[in-house]
Amino acid sequence: QEQLVESGGGLVQAGGSLRLSCAASGRTFSGDTMAWFRQVPGKEREFVAAVRWGGFGTYYADFVKGRFTISRDSAKNTVYLQMNSLKPEDTAIYYCAAMPGGSYSRSTDQYTYWGQGTQVTVSS
């Protein structure tokens, strides 16, 4: 059974850092585009970052450019999101997602597999 499991969330002060991990299992995800989204209560889930297969091509939402870095380790079937210079407005549940086929999209409905999410809270 295909599964994405996020970890690494927590409570951090503004200006601090966290690294999220997403472990994939149940199928080969190496050819998929992997992405991170986030969601706060009452708002739609929004795109944060994506990385295409082989690490060729990374994409970021404007509000995280220069602060967050997405990467993947295909040997470990794991995707990471390094988050630096965190701000209180980064507080959200962060979700990992996979889109088979290797193309690129910022739309949630293009992603087939989703993790359960990990909470990130940034205090001021």
pLDDT tens digits along 70-112: 999 988 999 999 999 999 999 999 999 999 987 889 999 999 9
Confidence of residue 55 (pLDDT cuts 50, 70, 90): low
d(CA 34, CA 80): 10
Which of the pair, 55 or 51, is modelled with greater confidence? 51
* 86 alpha carbon, distance to own chain's centre: 15
Please tell me the predicted confidence (pLDDT) of residue 29.
86
DSSP-assigned beta bridge partners for residue 13? 123
User: Which two three-digit tokens encode residue 33?
Assistant: 């585009």
Give the type of residue at 114: W
Provide the β-strand partners of residue 7.
21
